[in-house]
Copies of this chain bind each other. A is one copy, B any other.
Amino acid sequence: MGQVAAIIGGGVIGGGWAARFLLMGWDVRVFDPDTEAERKIGEVIANARRSLPGLSDVALPPEGALSFHDTMSDAVAGAVWIQESVPERLELKRKVYQTVQEHCDPAAVIASSTSGFKPSELQGCATRPEQIVVAHPFNPVYLLPLVELVPTDKNPVVFVQQAKDILTDIGMYPLHVRAEIDAHIADRFLEAVWREALWLIKDGIATTEEIDNAIRYGFGLRWAQMGLFETYRIAGGEAGMRHFIEQFGPCLEWPWTKLMDVPELTDDLIDQVAGQSDAQSGHLSIRELERARDNNLVTILRGLKTQDWGAGALLKAHDARLTGQIALPDDLTQPIVTVERVVPLDWTDYNGHMNEAKYLQAFGDATDRMMWLVGCDTDYIASGSSFFTAETHIRHLDEVHAGAMIRVETQVLQGEGKKMHLFHRMFEGDRELATGEHFLLHVSLETRRACDPDDRVAVPLGRVAAAHAALPRPDGAGAAVGVR
């Protein structure tokens, strides 16, 4: 695009803005008198480079050019967007706008990252108040889409629309805050929770860790996908939001928080909440909302499991307890069961069919289990070698849906020297769903080159291969694609 954004004030927030504009193809010009600014912004951009571009399933525009400038006038030259993230002092911010407006394009957006000031306060005595607005982002700015866009009556409608369009273009969600208010919207919730949390710590009820766990193992997972009202709409059941308020309204009078200034629950207020909730979510029935919620929760929980973090770490530990000791079966005259699991909701398309790539996921899990069974476990891998997959041949024989219990049976076709050749068959009950033929090489993790395994693996692998040599060669083994 070649458009220019000026970043006034680096730090975590300014750096996050710089990173987002830059990786979305904008040229970014930074002004920050801090001698450490270049290093600090560099660290934020490094974090953004490792995480943001991959969020997208297509290529982002080529990265823009980043430059640092000694004067504000130089930084704002040619800028379409000027983002101010200097410390939260009104006089300082007003001085910045004065200098910026002496040098910038009168059509540029001057946006403040402030959480503490209302836009009318910022516009105060400015030369051109109409080009100043609040655009309050959330850390990390390069990943979280929310930005609270708070204009005043002084900002022309077309100007506000232009600001929204630019924020959307760089992958953000501009939440148009229609009435200015202290702390805008989101920070009012953050502040309420922060105050309550400090009380709990002060009163010795809970520690920071207990409070974090109370959030991230429970309602935090709900809020990540539906927020507050849509979640409660479901809690109200078929009767919806009105029922929820009527059921839980009385708690408002109870001492459930230290924060006791409560609104009166008039019929008008109930009508407002219920009506807005209908407008927001009424196109989906409660059953549909429940299923969407559960799909989202399963996806988030299983995602966190891959990261071994938060609620996902709990799931992983639970699986480990269910699994117990992993050992080769005594009877090696049959293929070995290497996977036995249910097809999860996050493995399926909108029709409930298991996605193509998840067949390889299941066969890969089967391979991992087989490696473990023949001694290539965590300790062995930590000692410096492992098996790498060189080739895979998958044949899809039948379809399978979410919720089905699948089983993979594995036959070792070859297991000598550096070669491990496996043949997996996937079943639901007696119905064969797919086969996966996997050819692996034992490699040194240092040189990344093939080498023979040591006896910890070579001996058990050889034993299984010898026993499985007596089994018939499975149908489809050794076949090329398209050959029957």
- The verdict on A480 contacting B482 (CB below 8 Å), with A206-B185, A280-B208, A342-B53 known, is no
- The verdict on A56 contacting B298 (CB below 8 Å), with A47-B291, A175-B217 known, is no
Contacts of A50 in B (CB 8 A): 291, 294, 345, 402-403
Contact A217 B145 (CB under 8 A): yes
Contact A215 B227 (CB under 8 A): yes
- The verdict on A55 contacting B187 (CB below 8 Å), with A175-B217, A178-B205, A277-B208 known, is no
CA distance A205 to B340 in the complex (A): 52
Query: Copy number in this complex?
Result: 2
A254 touches which of B146, B182, B258 (Cβ 8 Å): B182
The A contact surface, by secondary structure, is helix
CA distance A447 to B390 in the complex (A): 36
Contacts of A293 in B (CB 8 A): 140
* A344 interfacial by beta-carbon distance below 8 Å: yes
CA distance A231 to B284 in the complex (A): 33
| Sample of 15 A–B contacts (CB below 8 Å) | A43-B287, A59-B340, A139-B234, A175-B214, A189-B219, A190-B219, A202-B263, A202-B269, A208-B276, A216-B225, A225-B310, A258-B261, A357-B358, A390-B396, A479-B480
- The verdict on A322 contacting B214 (CB below 8 Å), with A273-B208, A280-B209 known, is no
- The verdict on A292 contacting B319 (CB below 8 Å), with A181-B205, A182-B256, A261-B260 known, is no
* A392 interfacial by beta-carbon distance below 8 Å: yes
Contacts of A252 in B (CB 8 A): 191, 194-195, 198
Contact B259 A257 (CB under 8 A): yes
Contacts of A212 in B (CB 8 A): 226-230, 280
Contacts of A319 in B (CB 8 A): 56-58
CA distance A60 to B237 in the complex (A): 29
* A360 interfacial by beta-carbon distance below 8 Å: yes
CA distance A144 to B209 in the complex (A): 18
Contacts of A188 in B (CB 8 A): 196, 200, 256-258
Contacts of A204 in B (CB 8 A): 179
Contact B356 A143 (CB under 8 A): no
Contact B480 A198 (CB under 8 A): no
Within 8 A of B (CB), among A93-130: 116
Contact B299 A306 (CB under 8 A): yes
Contact B221 A224 (CB under 8 A): yes
CA distance A124 to B213 in the complex (A): 29
* A458 interfacial by beta-carbon distance below 8 Å: no
Shortest Cβ gap from A483 to chain B (Å): 8
CA distance A277 to B206 in the complex (A): 12
Contact A193 B189 (CB under 8 A): yes
Contact A262 B394 (CB under 8 A): no
* A27 interfacial by beta-carbon distance below 8 Å: no
Shortest Cβ gap from A57 to chain B (Å): 5
Contacts of A322 in B (CB 8 A): 56, 58-61
Shortest Cβ gap from A168 to chain B (Å): 8
A345 touches which of B54, B219, B254 (Cβ 8 Å): B54
Contact B213 A146 (CB under 8 A): yes
* A32 interfacial by beta-carbon distance below 8 Å: no
- The verdict on A219 contacting B186 (CB below 8 Å), with A273-B201, A391-B395 known, is yes
- The verdict on A55 contacting B146 (CB below 8 Å), with A192-B257, A193-B228, A226-B212 known, is no
CA distance A28 to B366 in the complex (A): 33
